[in-house]
Amino acid sequence: MNRIVERFLRLKKEGKKGFIVYIGAGDPNLRATRQLALAFDKAGVDVLELGVPFSDPLADGLVNQLAAQRGLESGTTPPKVLETVAAVRKHSQIPIVLYIYFNLVHKRGVKQFIADAARAGVDGLLVLDLPPEESDNYEQLMRDAGLCNIYLVAPTTPDARVELIV
């Protein structure tokens, strides 16, 4: 069973809420990202969200934009983030989500990126700029790989659209 699904089932059974932490991968470097992931696991974080640095983070606020810039400056790339996840997996089973822009997935090839992410130990993808209406076979590829597909819902999203997204 996927680690995210398993974690939320356990939290529901215990009547608890989940604590999800976001950090920009590679900020200040990937060694620190790995160390933080392991520390968050020991501290009881339920899910770790790793922001994959992107040159044009349009959906992000200033704090995440600056983290992405520092990540890029430290040489962080999607393949290096996946290597970092694989290194974390040697010591931790904390559920990990990649917070990523579609351009980075598309550049590698959707099917290949999903396979690479699953192989590295990623549990889910939150592709910020991929609306469900344009996802083609992405959702099926994610299911086939055992990964959680996560979409964003804004406070202003109409109810009918929330139903589609959920």
Which of 27, 41, 46, 49 is catalytic? The answer is: 49
Strand pairing partners for 124? 97, 148
**Phi then psi dihedrals of residue 96, to 5 deg:** -125, 130
Write b or e for each residue in 23-41: b if 16 or more Cβ atoms lie within 10 A of its Cβ, otherwise e.
bbbbbebbeebbebbbebb
Instruction: Give the end-to-end CA distance of the chain in Å, rounded to a whole number.
Output: 20
99 SS3 class: strand
Burial class for 155, CB neighbours closer than 10 Å (0-12, 13-18, 19+): exposed
Whether 49 sits among the annotated catalytic residues: the reply is: yes
Which of 27, 60, 133, 144 is catalytic? The answer is: 60
Contact 83, 120 (CB under 8 A): yes
Active site residues: 49, 60
